[in-house]
Amino acid sequence: MRRSCNASVVVGNATLVTLGSNLLGGFVDELVQRLENCRPGLPDAPTQEQTEQFVTELYDAEHARLHEAVQALAPIVDEESLAKEEVELDTLFRRVLLPAFARVASEMTRRERNDFYLTKKGLHGIERVGWTAAGIAVGSFVVWAPFIPIWSKEAVLPFAAAGLLFPELRRFFAYRRYAREINKLVVSVEAEVRRVQAVYLEAPTTMERLDADRTPRLPTGQPEGH
């Protein structure tokens, strides 16, 4: 049984996608949220190819919803144009959205599974001690340096604390950067979706259908003036 992944997208303390876009009924936002929410299903050190295959399978399961979202314009856009729009949007998602998400998510997953340490598991404690020692060394230099107006030995403590907590600081900034990259991807893809929709909404055949719908008709069903 496939696990349902419908929770809102939050990584660390950073919200990835802000809901509210009406494009395709919010399809792009919800798709990216599903991809992120299901990311725990990836292996600990996924390659970009593994991640791309993983997210493509998730997208394939959502393709019916893309069809429904495109068909929502059926009252004003002819069937042939809607079919072309769906193919163009599907190509956009497969060639741009999914590979770009896979590139960012595979790197993030590898770092996340290692708790954002630079060393392998089993050496995390040694790395933390090393960063603490580095913080103490920097703090001591700041206190000693005659060109820095800090002479209190207690000033070493903040540097030592920063070294001790460096993995947590790295995690915080990594999540923020990841959120920015995903949001930037969503904005770029949605801008292209708008362009594609505009092409078909502003097509001559669409304009003719809209004009025909606006023309007042007589009780006989014929347009006025005929």
**Residue 40 located in a structural domain:** yes
* Contact (Cβ atoms closer than 8 angstroms) between residue 171 and residue 14: no
Residue 143 has what pLDDT?
A: 67
Mean pLDDT of the chain: 77
**Residue 224 located in a structural domain:** no
CA dihedral 95, 68, 41, 166 (to 10 degrees): 70
- 13: tokens are 């303390």
Unique residue bearing structure tokens 């399961």: 61
Range of the domain at 165: 10-212
Is residue 192's pLDDT more than 80? yes
Report the range of poorest mean pLDDT among 35-39, 75-79, 115-119, 159-163. Answer: 159-163
* Contact (Cβ atoms closer than 8 angstroms) between residue 186 and residue 136: no
Residues of the chain with pLDDT > 70: what percent? Answer: 66
Residue 150 has what pLDDT?
A: 60
**Residue 34 located in a structural domain:** yes
Residue type, 17: V
Q: Domain total for the chain?
A: 1
Residue 164 has what pLDDT?
A: 65
Q: Of 190 and 138, which is predicted with more confidence? A: 190
Is residue 146's pLDDT more than 60? yes
Q: How far apart are the first and last CA of the chain?
A: 61
Unique residue bearing structure tokens 């005659």: 146
**Residue 33 located in a structural domain:** yes
Residue 148 has what pLDDT?
A: 62
- Cα(129)–Cα(117) distance, integer angstroms: 12
**Residue 16 located in a structural domain:** yes
**Residue 222 located in a structural domain:** no
Residue 144 has what pLDDT?
A: 64
**Residue 226 located in a structural domain:** no
